[in-house]
Amino acid sequence: MGVAFLYARARLHWGFITRQVGASAAQLAYPLPPPTTVIGSFANPLARVLGIGEAIDRRSGAAGSRIMRCAISSTIAASAGLVPRSPTGVALHAEPTRILGGPYKGGGSYQEAVKKPAYQAVQEVLPVQSSGEASSPGSVMYLAWVLDTARLEACLGLRGSSLVDGLEEAVWSVYRIGSKEGIASVEEAGVVEDSVRIVGPGGTFHSILYQSALCVYPKTGSSKPLTLYGLTYRERTFYAPIAGASGYSYLYPPVIPELFEVRSGCRAFDPGVNNLALASEEAGMP
């Protein structure tokens, strides 16, 4: 297994949108991008760099994201975190008119819908996806993605040099978080491979990224439990380094990074830059 640690420091222009399977259109926003949203932020520009389009399921005829399927299956861990002492926080906010208008968002084609099976026709006529909007204009956060490069290469059918070059370009090409409206500007980015330090059970590391509660013990008390969905779209608990003044509807950036201890059955990957270490379960983050 080859491990690559990708990171990007992104400044949000207004915020981001996440979509949650099985939730109503009026769901509250997650205050930080969940792991799948982080992966998508990197995978989207990677697909463009590598020239990878959508894959078509021969049996159903439905289009699916090949890059996201391969990216998620190759993921060891993914996370985000607010930059310490940055001037703004992340607020939970959804404009009422967007919530009320959610059920009425159409845009599909009736002529195309009648040619398809019922389950596809409904998606064509009423392509509504549950969404939550996090308003955070000017906020600065790091996005981090740890992946098994060998597995991603095999899944995408690439040569090693092609993938490495693509990753190097993709981290600087991150331009949105969540939906296409969550525009972001990258201020710093990088890919760390050979020098990533592995921290085993009982070891400690400093980080500003949220960590799976199954894999770490917070040591200094500068983090709080945060509910996000994981890679299986099931909600789980993470510890997010944030300031003590944070509340339910807003997060303040941490003053200092949190000190975490790795739990049994887990490990942490430390790229040695900007307190961006990230823990995961041995078999990958489910």
The rounded mean pLDDT for the chain is 81
pLDDT of 60 reads: 46
- Tell which wins on pLDDT, 154 or 133: 154
- CATH code, domain carrying 184: 3.30.70.3120
Instruction: Please determine, for residue 185, whether its predicted confidence score (pLDDT) is greater than 70.
Output: yes
CA separation for the pair 195, 273 (Å, rounded): 11
Confidence of residue 104 (pLDDT cuts 50, 70, 90): very low
CA–centroid distance for 96 within its chain: 25
- Mean pLDDT across the stretch 196-201? 95
Residue 223 lies in a domain: yes
Q: How many domains would you assign to the chain?
A: 1
**Block residue for tokens 């400093």:** 206
Q: What is the pLDDT of residue 100?
A: 46
Confidence band (pLDDT; 50, 70, 90) for 181?
low
Q: Which of 41, 263, 246, 25 is nearest to 144 (CA)?
A: 41
Q: How far apart are CA 220 and CA 243, in angstroms?
A: 12
The fraction of the chain above a pLDDT of 70, given in percent, is 75
Mean per-residue pLDDT for 137-157?
92
Residue 203 CB contacts under 8 Å (≥ 6 apart), including other chains: 261, 262, 268
Contact 78, 38 (CB under 8 A): yes
* Whole-number pLDDT of residue 245: 77
* Higher pLDDT, residue 10 or 133: 10
Q: What pLDDT was estimated at residue 193? A: 92
pLDDT score recorded for residue 284: 44
Could you read off the pLDDT of 42-89 as tens digits, one per residue? 999 999 998 887 655 444 444 457 888 899 999 999 999 999 987 777
Q: How far apart are CA 250 and CA 244, in angstroms?
A: 11
For the ranges 61-65, 135-139, 168-172, the one whose mean pLDDT is highest: 168-172
Burial 161-180 (b: 16+ CB within 10 A, else e): eebbebbbbbbebbbbbbbe
* Any domain includes 126: yes
Phi-psi region of 168 (alpha: psi -120 to 50; beta: other; left: phi over 0): alpha
Domain that holds residue 111: 3-281
Please check the confidence at residue 197 and state whether its pLDDT lies above 60. yes
Edge to edge, the sheet with strand 266-270 lists: 197-199, 266-270, 278-281
Q: Are 68 and 43 in contact (CB under 8 A)?
A: yes
- pLDDT interval class at 113 (50, 70, 90): low
Give per-residue pLDDT as tens, 3-37.
999 999 999 888 887 776 655 555 667 889 999 99
Q: Report how far residue 71's alpha carbon sits from residue 43's, in angstroms, rounded to the nearest whole number.
A: 7
Q: Which of 50-64, 173-187, 202-216, 264-278 has the lowest mean pLDDT?
A: 50-64
Q: Is the pLDDT of residue 207 over 60?
A: yes
As a whole number of angstroms, the distance between CA 54 and CA 65 comes to: 5
Task: Pick 114 or 217 by higher pLDDT.
Answer: 217
Q: Decide if 251 contacts 135 (C-beta within 8 A).
A: no
In a domain, 164, yes or no: yes
Q: Which residues contact 68 (CB under 8 A, 6 or more apart)?
A: 39, 40, 43
pLDDT at 117 over 70: no
Is 286 a member of any domain? no
Which pLDDT does position 13 carry in this prediction? 86
